[in-house]
């Protein structure tokens, strides 16, 4: 099991998501993907070092992928780990009912 731990280990994903700053970084990438550290840093009241540390944890959890493009290092959101957690507990039959409730919630809350 040891060698396979990294794959099946959702702990890193949950730990990475447990922090509001890291969720904020993912929100920023969700709005627009492929950003540099400098761009991400400019939207946070935090040192460059702090943002780097959070990005590294997101990368280790597989939630962010850094790719070099020319002279820049761009950060992309990798949605797959969250999808795998979704698939673990929500199958395609349950999904329809869940989606219906989520839609209902958004509709009610938007019109409120």
Partner 1 sequence: MTTATAQTTQVYQIFIKATPEQIWEAITTPEFTARYFHGARIQVTADHYQSNGPNGETWGDEPVFEFDAPRRLVHQWRSLYDPDLVAEEPSRVTWEIADQDDGTCLLTVTHDRLEGALKTAARVAGPGWMGVLSSLKTLLETGEPLT
In terms of CB distance, is 49 or 68 closer to partner 1? 68
In terms of CB distance, is 51 or 61 closer to partner 1? 61
Burial grade of 93 (CB within 10 A; 0-12, 13-18, 19 or more): exposed
Which two tokens mark 83? 């999808």
Interacting residue ranges for partner 1, rule: CB under 8 A: 3-4, 6-7, 27, 30-34, 62, 65, 67, 76-80, 83-84, 87, 91-92, 106
**What's the rounded Cα separation, in Å, for the pair 81 and 88?**
11
Give the phi and the psi of residue 74 in degrees, each rounded to 5. Answer: -105, 145
The minimum distance between CB 50 and partner 1, in angstroms, equals 23
The minimum distance between CB 16 and partner 1, in angstroms, equals 14
């Amino acid at each position: 099991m040891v060698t396979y731990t990294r794959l099946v280990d959702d702990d890193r994903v949950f730990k990475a998501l447990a922090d509001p700053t890291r969720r904020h970084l993912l929100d920023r990438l969700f709005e627009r993907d492929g950003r540099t550290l400098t761009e991400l840093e400019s939207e946070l009241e935090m040192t460059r070092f702090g943002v780097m540390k959070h990005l590294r944890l997101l990368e280790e959890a597989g939630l962010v992928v850094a790719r070099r493009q020319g002279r820049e290092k761009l950060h992309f959101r990798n949605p797959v780990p969250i999808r795998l957690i979704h698939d673990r507990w929500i199958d395609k039959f349950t999904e329809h009912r869940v989606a219906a409730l989520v839609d209902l919630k958004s509709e009610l809350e938007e019109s409120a």
